């Protein structure tokens, strides 16, 4: 089908997903930071502030935007400079704290994130209704392996402000995983409790499927015979049911409305192809329109290549 081949040619990694205003800001920041002028910090800060001031109270989109901006600016002097110039600006503080955590994680130096704790608490005091300082603090708790009472205390602060905050649920899923000091039983209990309560199209609706993909990756990571038969994971009842619950609803126009809906659709397309459910995967690829996320595609190689190959397999004969 012609539209599918055309769409494959347009595949691209887009951390902003379908947030066009965020995408334009990233391009502007890239151009502005190249100038190296003295006014660069003030100009970039003003651009970021204008974006983050939009849609007050839309915490889902704010969390997405702060996360993408922090990842984009992790190697930049801008977050530190902005926070130093405006120590009572919650946006500046949260962005700086988020970059500190990202840099500490990338360097595998958890102690480097310690400064972020005080920064997050200051931001939370300045903007008491905003969940993003607590989301950043939860990332610190996860990175530094805080005790569960403290980590859950931070998590509850997020939920008190944004009940279905996607980033917070993903953070706790990682915190409770066997790889980070939890257990498979804790993950299952956490997911089961969430699924019994959340709306089907909540921003955190992808947690159950994320847990299944992480378990699948864990099996692949063992290598040997287990890796060779890892596809059997998707025939187990829990994994198959997780796919069945969302395979036909998520791709429907307007069903998922949260800021990272396309990230969840990438996750669904990946899982369906891992389960060899190509017919179900085809409409998911169509709904994605070529917007690709690095994870989970990058497990097997370069993300765009893996995505393109999977899309071709899903659409053969359609």
pLDDT digits (tens, 9 = 90+) for 221-245: 888 888 788 889 999 999 999 999 9
pLDDT recorded at residue 318:
57
pLDDT recorded at residue 1:
38
pLDDT recorded at residue 181:
85
CATH fold of 18-173 reads 1.25.40
| Res. 253: pLDDT tops 70 | yes
pLDDT recorded at residue 34:
60
- Contact of 297 with 266, CB cutoff 8 Å: yes
Running DSSP on this structure, what letter comes out for residue 19?
-
State the pLDDT confidence band at 263, using cuts at 50, 70 and 90. Answer: very high
**Proportion of the chain above pLDDT 90, given as a percent:** 85
What pTM does this model have? 0.93
Q: Which of 169, 187, 170 is nearest to 178 (CA)?
A: 187
Tally of helices (H runs) and strands (E runs) in the chain: 17, 2
| Res. 5: pLDDT tops 70 | no
Instruction: Tell me the sheet residues that pair with 291.
Output: 12
Contacts of 248 (CB under 8 A, 6+ apart): 280
pLDDT recorded at residue 97:
98
State the pLDDT confidence band at 3, using cuts at 50, 70 and 90. Answer: very low
Could you tell me the end-to-end alpha-carbon distance of the chain, in angstroms, rounded to an integer?
A: 7
| Res. 75: pLDDT tops 90 | no
Task: Calculate mean pLDDT across residues 173-201.
Answer: 95
Q: Which of 195, 177, 194 is nearest to 185 (CA)?
A: 177
Give CATH 1.25.40.10 domain extents, the chain: 18-173
Please state, in angstroms and rounded to a whole number, the distance separating the CA atoms of residues 62 and 55: 8
| Region of residue 88 (phi > 0: left; psi between -120 and 50: alpha; otherwise: beta) | alpha
pLDDT recorded at residue 227:
79
**Proportion of the chain above pLDDT 70, given as a percent:** 94
pLDDT digits (tens, 9 = 90+) for 271-308: 999 999 999 999 999 999 999 999 999 988 999 999 99
Per the prediction, the chain carries an average pLDDT of 93
| Res. 76: pLDDT tops 60 | yes
Q: Which helix (H) or strand (E) holds 13?
A: strand 12-13
- Decide which of 247 and 1 is more confident: 247
Going from the C-alpha of 199 to that of each of 118, 160, 163, 209, 228, the distances in angstroms are: 34, 17, 11, 15, 36
Contacts of 18 (CB under 8 A, 6+ apart): 261, 262, 291
| Token pair in block for residue 22 | 């965020």
| Token pair in block for residue 237 | 């009842």
| Token pair in block for residue 225 | 């015979």
| Res. 7: pLDDT tops 70 | no
Running DSSP on this structure, what letter comes out for residue 112?
G
Torsion angle (degrees, nearest 10) of CA 36, 42, 47, 48: 100
State the pLDDT confidence band at 40, using cuts at 50, 70 and 90. Answer: confident
| Token pair in block for residue 283 | 């409409």
3-state secondary structure of 179: helix
């Amino acid at each position: 089908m012609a539209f599918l081949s055309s769409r494959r040619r347009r595949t691209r990694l887009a951390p902003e997903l379908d947030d066009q205003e965020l995408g334009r800001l990233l391009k502007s920041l890239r151009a502005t930071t190249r100038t190296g002028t003295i006014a660069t910090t003030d100009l970039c800060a003003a651009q970021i502030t204008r974006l983050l001031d939009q849609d007050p109270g839309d915490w889902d989109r704010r969390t997405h935007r702060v996360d993408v901006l922090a990842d984009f600016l992790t190697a930049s002097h801008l977050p530190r400079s902005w926070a130093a110039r405006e120590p009572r600006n919650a946006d500046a503080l949260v962005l700086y704290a988020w970059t500190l955590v990202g840099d500490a994680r990338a360097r595998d130096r958890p102690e480097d994130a310690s400064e972020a704790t005080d920064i997050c608490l200051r931001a939370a005091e300045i903007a008491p209704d905003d969940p993003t300082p607590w989301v950043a603090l939860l990332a610190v708790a996860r990175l530094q392996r805080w005790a569960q009472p403290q980590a859950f205390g931070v998590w509850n602060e997020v939920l008190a402000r944004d009940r279905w905050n996607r980033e917070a649920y993903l953070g706790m899923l990682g915190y409770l995983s066997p790889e980070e000091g939890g257990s498979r039983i804790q993950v299952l209990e956490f997911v089961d409790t969430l699924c019994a309560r959340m709306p089907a199209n909540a921003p955190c609706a992808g947690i159950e499927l994320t847990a299944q993909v992480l378990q699948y990756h864990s099996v692949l990571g063992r290598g040997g015979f287990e890796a060779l038969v890892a596809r059997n994971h998707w025939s187990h009842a829990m994994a198959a049911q997780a796919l069945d619950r969302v395979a036909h609803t998520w791709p429907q126009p307007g069903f998922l409305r949260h800021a990272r809906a396309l990230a969840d659709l990438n996750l669904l397309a990946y899982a369906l192809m891992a389960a060899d459910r190509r017919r179900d995967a085809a409409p998911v690829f169509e709904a994605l329109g070529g917007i690709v996320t690095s994870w989970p595609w990058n497990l097997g190689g370069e993300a765009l290549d893996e995505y393109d190959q999977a899309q071709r397999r899903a659409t053969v004969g359609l």
